[in-house]
Amino acid sequence: MKILIIGAAGMIGQKLIIKLLSIKSLNGKKIKELILFDVIKSPKIEDSHIKIKIKSGDLSNLMVSKKLIKDKPDLIFHLAAIVSGHAEKEFELGWNINTRGSWGLFEAIRLMGKGYCPKIVFTSSITVYGAPFADRISDEFFTTPLTSYGSQKAVTEILLSDYSRKGMLDGIALRFPTICVRPGKPNLAASGFFSGIIREPLNGQMAILPVSPETRHYFASPRSAINFLIHAAELDLKKLENRISLNMPGLSATVQEQIESLKRVSGNNTAKYIQHKPNLDIQKIVGSWAKDLAATRAKRLGFIAEKNFDEIIKIYIEEDLNKI
C-alpha cells in the first residue's frame, strides 16, 4: 500500500506518520511507501521497513497536484489547511489553499483516469456549523458557516462528495473538534488559546485567555485525532450511505472546566499563569462555532474520543509535555 499525506509537516501529520510507521499495515495491507507532502519539507524520517518520499510545494497549483498523483497513492490523508484565524484575515489565501487546492487535488485524480480511484480521508471541521444552533447539534443539522475557514471546509466537503458520487475517488470527511492540547508553539488558529491555557501553564509560562471563562467548546485530543484518521482509513465507506461527512465524537467543556481540570491534574498553582485579556475578534469567531455535537453516526461506526478533560490533559503530559 502506498500512502500520501498532504500536510505532513504539521502536528497531526507528524503524529500520523509515527502511528503509521508503528502499525506498518492498514486492513491487513502492508504499508510499502509513505509520500510526505507540505508547503515546507517534512522532517527527514528513516525507516528500514517503509520507503519514504518527502516532497514540498504549493497545493493551490494544479501542476503540483498532478505530480503528486503520478505516484498513484492508494490512500490519501488530506490534512493541509490555512487555519481559522489566518483564513479569516487572509481571504484569498484561505480560499486558494483550503478550497482551490483541494479541488485541484480531486481534479488531478479525475484526470489520471484509467480506473484510478484512491481513498481520501479529509479533515474537515465543526466550523461548518454556525449560530444560531441547538445546545447539542445532531447529525441532521444544516451547515451554515459564519467564518471563511468554515465555508472553505463546507465547500470542500461538497466537492469531495460529488467526486465520490461520480466514482472518481472514495472520500470521507471527518469534522474534527478542536484538537487540544496541541504541543509546540501557538499557531494562527483562533482556537489556539484553548491549548495555550493548558500547555503554557504546564510549562511554567504565561497564557492569554481572550474569551470569557463561561465560553463552551468541543474538544478531542491529538491521540483521538490520529485514531479517527486510522479508523476512517480502515472503514468500509459503503457504510456511510452516500453521506460522506461525519461529525467526530468529542467532549463539551467550558473554559472554566478546562481550568478546573488543569488544577486537578497539576495542582492549583498552575492556574496563576493564565491571564484574562479579552479579544473581541477571537470572541466573535469562537462564538460562531458549535459547542457540542451528538456525533451519533460516527459513534455507531466505531469512532471514540475522551470522556472528560482530565483525560485530555493527562494525554498531553504523557506524550508532549516540554515540547514547546
- Residues catalogued as catalytic: 149
End-to-end CA distance of the chain: 34
Q: How far is CA 166 from CA 103, 197, 208, in A?
A: 14, 45, 47
Distance CA 131, CA 19 (A): 36
Give, for 266, the enclosing helix (H) or strand (E).
helix 255-266
> Phi, psi (5° rounding) for residue 122?
-105, 130
CA distance 69 to 56: 14
Task: Tell me 231's DSSP state.
Answer: H
Rg (CA), the chain: 19
Q: Cis (ω within 30 of 0) for the bond into 278?
A: no
